[in-house]
Amino acid sequence: MKNQKVYALHDVKGIYVLQSIGYQSKSYPDGETVARKVNDEEERLKTLEIAKDEAYKKGRLDAEQDFKLEIEKIKSECASLTALFQNAVNQLIDKREKIWQESESEIIKLILTISNKMVGEGISNHGKDVIKYVVKEALSHVCGKKIVAVRVSPDDAKKINLLEEVKVVDQNIKILEDGTITSGGCVIETDFGSVDCQIETRWEEIRKALVENKNESAVR
């Protein structure tokens, strides 16, 4: 806007003097300037919005990365704990096997001792039936061979008539009392040798079988 002259009235010694002074009128932005400012503001807002989105994305990526790192850390710790647990289990298994190997022989002896005692009590209570069964079984192993004699303990020889009880066809077989044979056992003598059916002999066979099985397991 152009300067305009404005006159002011001054009183100088009773005389009013009219003096002109310069006056700058207030200017207003034109439409182009306003449009430019609006555009600049819009650009600034867009820049802020982009920066906001980028910051959000970066924050999310950082959070995801931190989460992944935490998951990997937990997995690593779990793997370590699993390895420790498996190692402890393996040690327990090895210890158990070692204890078993060290005590297996004693356990076998204990089992045989207890079983032998139980069998002995069974023989004492049912001696007659036991000796009959043992003699019958022994005779079944010598089929086709000539039986010379059956040796039994003195107690069993007094309890029953074996030849009648076991229904032996050849009544010429001798029943011999043998003080070395314990009750419930017998020895069959044939023309080809003898068959030992004593309780002690059977227990020894069982013991040997258990020991052999133990040794085979140790080799495996």
SS3 90: helix
- What's the chain's average pLDDT? 71
Which tens digits make up the pLDDT trace of 75-122? 888 888 888 888 888 888 888 777 777 766 676 666 666 665 555 555
Q: What is the pTM of this model?
A: 0.40
Please, which residues bridge with residue 170 across strands? Answer: none
Distances 158 to 50, 51, 132, 168 between C-alpha atoms, Å: 116, 115, 13, 18
pLDDT at 219 over 70: no
- Highest average pLDDT, of 1-15, 18-32, 48-62, comes from 48-62
Which tens digits make up the pLDDT trace of 130-151? 677 777 777 777 776 777 788 8
What pLDDT does 115 receive?
Answer: 60
Q: How confident is the model at residue 1 (pLDDT cuts 50, 70, 90)?
A: very low
* Cα–Cα distance for residue pair 20/5, rounded to 1 Å: 6
**What one-character DSSP code corresponds to residue 10?**
E
What pLDDT does 59 receive?
Answer: 76
What pLDDT does 60 receive?
Answer: 78
User: Could you tell me which residue, 2 or 61, shows the higher pLDDT?
Assistant: 61
What pLDDT does 69 receive?
Answer: 83
pLDDT at 6 over 50: no
Q: Phi and psi of 198, rounded to 5°?
A: -80, 150
Burial class of residue 198 (count of CB atoms within 10 Å of its CB; 0-12, 13-18, 19+): buried
